[in-house]
Amino acid sequence: MAIETTTTDGAVKAAPTPDRSRRTALAWLIARRALMGLVTLWCISVIVFVATQTMPGDVAKIILGPSATADQVAQLNKNLGLDQPLFSQYWDWLRNVLTGNMGNSLVSGQPVSELLSERIFNSATLTVMAMVLILPLSLLVGLLAAVFRDKLLDRSYLGVSLIVTATPDFVLGSLVVALFGTVVFKVLPPVSLIPPGDAPWQHPQELVMPLAVMVLVGVTYLSRLVRVSFIDVMESEYVQLAMLKGLSMRRILFRHALPNALAPSIPAASIMAAYTIAGSVVIEYLFAYPGIGSALVDAVAGHDLPMIQAIIMLMAAAFFCFNQLADVLGTLNKSR
C-alpha cells in the first residue's frame, strides 16, 4: 500500500512503497557494480595485452624457426601487425574482440573462436559437473560437522579440511594420479584424453580423477562456511526456543535452521564456481584434459598471443559474472 505525503502547496501525492524503493536501490547497486566490472575487465584487457606483447622472444622467429632470415622475420611481423605501435595494436585487437573476432592463432592460422569452441564446452562440462557434486556434498558435510560440533567427527573434518586447503591443487592431483592411476591401485587412466568431437560424459572414467580433485577442494572450502552458518543459526534464539518446545531435531534442522543457514552460503557458492573456473587451468594441465586450461598452457609455450589473450579474457569474464552473481545474491540476502 502506498503512503500519501503532502507537498508544500497542499497537493497530495503517493510516496513510493518500501518494496519499490528497495527494488530501485537494488537496480542501481547492480548497475554500479556492473559498470565497475566492465571497467575492471577493460583494465584486465590492457594488462593482458601489454603482458603478452612484452613476453620474451620474437613471435615471428618462433613461428618461422631458427633458419629464418631477417627479411622473412620483418615481413611476417608486418603481416601480423606486430611492427605497429603498441597502442595501435591494442586498439585493433580490442575493436575485434568487441565484435566477436578473437583473431587467428599464430601457430595453426585457424580462427581462435573455432579452436576454443570445443575446449570451452569441455571446460564448462567439467565445471558444471563439479559444482553439481560440490553443492550437495558441502551442505551434507557442513551440516554433519555442525550437528556433531567439537566431537570426533567435527575435529577430524576440520583437520582434513585444513590439510586439503593448505595443499596446492597440483600436489593433490599428483597424489590422486599416483594413488589411483599409476603406482598403487591403477584402476583409472592417469590422463583424461577425450577424443575430438566426443562429449566428456561419454568417457566417465577419464572424468573421475579431475572431478575428484575439484570436488575435494570445493567441498573443503564451502562446507566450512555451511558449518559456521549452521552453528550460528543453531545458537539463535528462535532455534533455542524450538528446542525448549520439544520439537524434534530433524524438524529443527530442516524446517528452521536449514533455510536460514543456506542464505549466507549461496553467494559463497557463486564465488566457489568462479574459483573452480580459475583453478581448472592446473587441473586440466595435470590430467591433460582438453579444456581451455590446457589450451592456455600450450598457447604460452608456443607464444600464441591471440590464443593467450582470448583465453584469459574469457576466464576473466566468467570470473566477473560469477562475482557479480555473488554480490547480487548477497545484497538480496541482506535486504530481507
DSSP codes of every residue in 217-267: HHHHHHHHHHHHHHHHHHTSHHHHHHHHTT--HHHIIIIIIHHHHHTTHHH
Name the pTM for this structure: 0.78
Over residues 149-166, the mean pLDDT reads 88
> Domain extents for the chain?
19-98, 116-334
Q: Which residue has the higher pLDDT, 6 or 176?
A: 176
pLDDT of residue 16: 52
279 pLDDT more than 70: yes
- CATH no. for 116-334: 1.10.3720.10
The string of pLDDT tens digits covering residues 230-255 is 888 877 777 777 777 777 777 777 77
- Collect all residues with Cβ–Cβ distance below 8 Å to 292 and sequence separation of at least 6: 116, 119, 120, 123, 280, 284, 311, 314, 315
Per residue in 188-211, pLDDT tens? 888 888 888 888 888 888 888 999
**Residues constituting the chain:** 336
**Would you say 214 and 272 are in contact if contact means Cβ atoms under 8 Å apart?**
no
Angle at 200 between CA 199 and CA 206, to 5 degrees: 145
What are the distances in angstroms from CA 191 to CA 15, 167, 168? 64, 21, 19
Q: Which residue has the cell 503517493?
A: 14
pLDDT at 332: 67
Q: Which residues, at least 6 apart from 335, have a Cβ–Cβ distance to it below 8 Å?
A: 22, 26
Distance CA 70, CA 94 (A): 29
Percent of the chain with pLDDT over 90: 1
Label residue 2 by pLDDT band (50, 70, 90). very low
More confident residue, 177 or 63: 177
What own/partner pairs with CB < 8 Å and gap ≥ 24 does 82-91 have?
Answer: 86/50, 86/53, 89/49, 89/53, 90/46, 90/49, 90/50
**Span 143-157, average pLDDT:** 87
pLDDT in tens, 42-85: 888 888 888 887 776 667 776 777 777 778 778 877 777 777 78
Q: What residues contact residue 234 under an 8 Å CB cut-off, 6+ apart?
A: 146, 257
- DSSP class per residue in 270-327: HHHHHHHHHHHHHHHHHTT--SHHHHHHHHHHTT-HHHHHHHHHHHHHHHHHHHHHHH
Tell me what pLDDT residue 14 has. Answer: 52
In the predicted model, what is the mean pLDDT of the chain? Answer: 80
pLDDT tens track for 88-139: 888 888 888 888 888 888 777 788 888 888 888 988 888 889 888 988 898 8
Region of residue 101 (left: phi > 0; alpha: psi -120 to 50; beta: else): beta
